[in-house]
A and B are shown apart, each in its own frame.
Chain A
């Protein structure tokens, strides 16, 4: 679980940074200065990195036994510039809190 969370956090951060590069630098260059080189290179990379992000988020949600709705919200959060960082922090706090709760809860004897 901890490893899955770390994987998710790393890729969430990378995708967030690339997305901001794309929106803050690439878009103005393309539409303001007619220089599409950043959008063409970073945009492609972002698409494939986002796939890795989806896989990491899916893996984490499976391990943490999340409901479908939360999984989809976390996946969508990765597409919104700046919000992705906030979402990553919330997910980390949530998973850590749930795990702590699970560790402190008494173990079931049977069933």
Chain B
């Protein structure tokens, strides 16, 4: 919660309230104009509250995003075991995994899926070692009771 009361966040809260009151006020002004006989104002009277709602939506989304990022960081700090792979990335000059986490810019808790480029062996590229291993596997499969040491090949 403390993260929502930084100066930048207070500015955002204030901006949200100012924008929403202004937009709703403009909407109300258009309603009064429409009631006074300016039929075209009915359209604007509908548009302004929608813009106000959009402001609230973006504000709420940012709040949730901040809270979720904060929760994810707390989890990371509480579970050092999950930081094993980060420890590998730590430099030799005594940089700990926790330092590395703190140094990272805040990121959303969702990461991209890992993609590994794999080159498929073509039908023409016969690997002698691979063929031998496959023969060994098929032998094991054909002789369920046999131990690997019994393989004659």
| Chain A residues within 8 Å of B111, by CB | 111
Q: How many residues of A contact B (CB 8 A)?
A: 16
Residue of B whose beta carbon sits closest to that of A71 = B58
Does more than half of chain B's interface fall in helix, strand or loop, or is it mixed?
A: helix
* B43 A47 Cβ-Cβ under 8 A: yes
Q: A47, A58, A71, A108: which contacts B47 (Cβ < 8 A)?
A: A47
Residue of A whose beta carbon sits closest to that of B108 = A65
Question: How far is A107 from B12 in the complex, measured between Cα atoms in Å?
Answer: 35
User: A94 an interface residue at 8 Å Cβ cutoff?
Assistant: no
Give the interface size bracket for B toward A. Answer: 20 to 34
| Chain A residues within 8 Å of B54, by CB | 51, 54
Q: A43, A51, A65, A107: which contacts B114 (Cβ < 8 A)?
A: A107
User: B29 an interface residue at 8 Å Cβ cutoff?
Assistant: no
| Chain B residues within 8 Å of A43, by CB | 40
| Chain A residues within 8 Å of B117, by CB | 107
| Chain B residues within 8 Å of A51, by CB | 47, 50-51, 54
| Chain A residues within 8 Å of B50, by CB | 51
Which residues of B are at the interface with A, using a C-beta cutoff of 8 A? 12, 40, 43-44, 47, 50-51, 54, 58, 62, 85-86, 89, 108, 111-112, 114-117
Would you list the 7 A-B pairs with minimal beta carbon distance, nearest first? A47-B47, A44-B43, A40-B40, A107-B115, A111-B85, A110-B85, A68-B62
